[in-house]
Amino acid sequence: MSSIFLSPPIQKIHNPLADHLSIELYVLRLDLIHTCINGNKWFKLKYNLLEAKQNQCSSLLTFGGAYSNHIFATAAAGRIFGFETIGVIRGEPTLPLNPTLRFAQEQGMKLLYCDRQTYRQRHTQEVQEEFKKQLQGSSNQTFIIPEGGGNLNGVRGCMEIMQDIQFFDIICLACGTATTLTGIALSPKSRTNLPTGIMGFPILKDARFLEGEIDRLITDYLNSNLPTLVNHPAPWQLIYDYHFGGYGKVDQELIKFCHQFHQEHHIPLDYIYTGKMFYGVIDLLKQGFFPPSKILLIHTGGLQGNLGIEQKLTQKRDNDS
Ligand SMILES: *Cc1c(COP(=O)(O)O)cnc(C)c1O
């Protein structure tokens, strides 16, 4: 199953200030492992797909927002690995479909829409049965993947992100559900000498609840029957100052930063996740936050989402003028 994926290159970025401070910056390019199923989303899907196959389920049901990288990746994975896919999309349908949902539909994903209140109940058996009922004519066994692939299978896959990585003092990544951070914290390759260790940059506003979620996910994983490589997690911390107003929110400064970074380093960044994290790391660098160290920035992909954000910004500009 993994054979169609490239192993992600690590790219050094040259930054005069970092050089001056004896700091080495590297980027792990998970955005390059596959054209459609890329970034951390492949790692979060992998063991869910394997469990679905083992359970002889021929269709996958999952959830996401209208610009979701997870919906995009699941639709592509379904087509490539032979699953029917159903995406439950939060909110009202809007036509024409945005680029994310258009792609998902082209891959064969069936799209169901659901109001925000029902969406919040998506974990309950009642609501899940309701969705299954809407798939009339489909007698297939359906495997349910939570939003963003945020379950223990997701954690297990994300442990593999660090598999072939050499030693780094600090590992930085963007966080939504922090499933990816949890997997990285449970990898023996993430041991560092610094108390700062793994630095997660939540892209949600008011994300303090994530600390409890991460603790719970770590405990659940270590108490599960899934394979473990360590007895306790590597030290991690969350940096709350770079959410830019919350999920899907961007401003001109962030967009400018992403464009400049792309030009200077030939690495495209997505506005929703990696752009915010990279912005935060460079800002902390300027503040003298980091000691002399080797820092790994994980590019978790998500570039498909930029099309939708750019479309929204253009529409807003047209409406404003
Ligand atoms: C989904 C996603 C994340 C967040 O991953 P979590 O495991 O939910 O923290 C980060 N970056 C990108 C590009 C994503 O698509």
Would the CB of 68 count as within 6 Å of ligand 1?
no
For residue 273, the model assigns a pLDDT of: 98
For residue 312, the model assigns a pLDDT of: 84
Per-residue pLDDT reduced to its tens digit, 191-203: 776 776 999 999 9
For residue 130, the model assigns a pLDDT of: 82
Per-residue pLDDT reduced to its tens digit, 255-292: 999 999 999 999 999 999 999 999 999 999 999 999 99
pLDDT at residue 74 tops 70: yes
Element (DSSP H or E) covering residue 102: helix 99-106
Over range 181-185, report the average pLDDT. 97
- Ligand 1 atom closest to Cα of residue 179: 7
Residue numbers annotated as active site: 68
Distance (Å) from CA 320 to ligand 1 centroid:
31
Over range 125-151, report the average pLDDT. 83
Per-residue pLDDT reduced to its tens digit, 76-93: 999 999 999 999 999 999
Over range 20-40, report the average pLDDT. 96
Per-residue pLDDT reduced to its tens digit, 199-237: 999 999 999 999 999 999 999 999 999 999 999 999 999
Among 31-45, 105-119, 182-196, 261-275, which stretch is predicted with the lowest mean pLDDT?
Answer: 182-196
Distance (Å) from CA 31 to ligand 1 centroid:
12
Distance (Å) from CA 132 to ligand 1 centroid:
27
User: Of 156, 161, 151, 143, which is closest to residue 54 (Cα–Cα)?
Assistant: 143
Would the CB of 177 count as within 6 Å of ligand 1?
yes
Please tell me the residue having the least CA distance from ligand 1 atom 15.
302
Pairing of strands 23-29, 10-13: antiparallel
Ligand 1 pocket: which of 300, 303, 309 to mutate (most atoms within 8 A of CB): 300
pLDDT classification of 129: cutoffs 50, 70, 90: confident
pLDDT classification of 111: cutoffs 50, 70, 90: very high
Would the CB of 161 count as within 6 Å of ligand 1?
no
CA dihedral 130, 132, 134, 139 (to 10 degrees): -150
Domain ranges of the chain: 10-37+152-320, 40-149
CATH of segment(s) 40-149: 3.40.50.1100
Domain topology for 10-37+152-320? Rossmann fold (3.40.50)
Q: Which residues make Cβ contacts (< 8 Å) with residue 257, sequence separation at least 6?
A: 275, 278, 279, 282
Distance (Å) from CA 321 to ligand 1 centroid:
34
- Ligand 1 atom closest to Cα of residue 180: 7
Residue 66 to residues 90, 93, 97, 99, 120: CA-CA distances in angstroms? 7, 9, 9, 9, 15
Higher pLDDT: 153 or 125? It is 153
For residue 314, the model assigns a pLDDT of: 86
For residue 313, the model assigns a pLDDT of: 86
| Secondary structure (DSSP) of 232-243 | SPPPEEE--TT-
Would the CB of 151 count as within 6 Å of ligand 1?
no
- Whose tokens are 């959410």? That residue is 243
| Domains 10-37+152-320 and 40-149 in one fold | yes
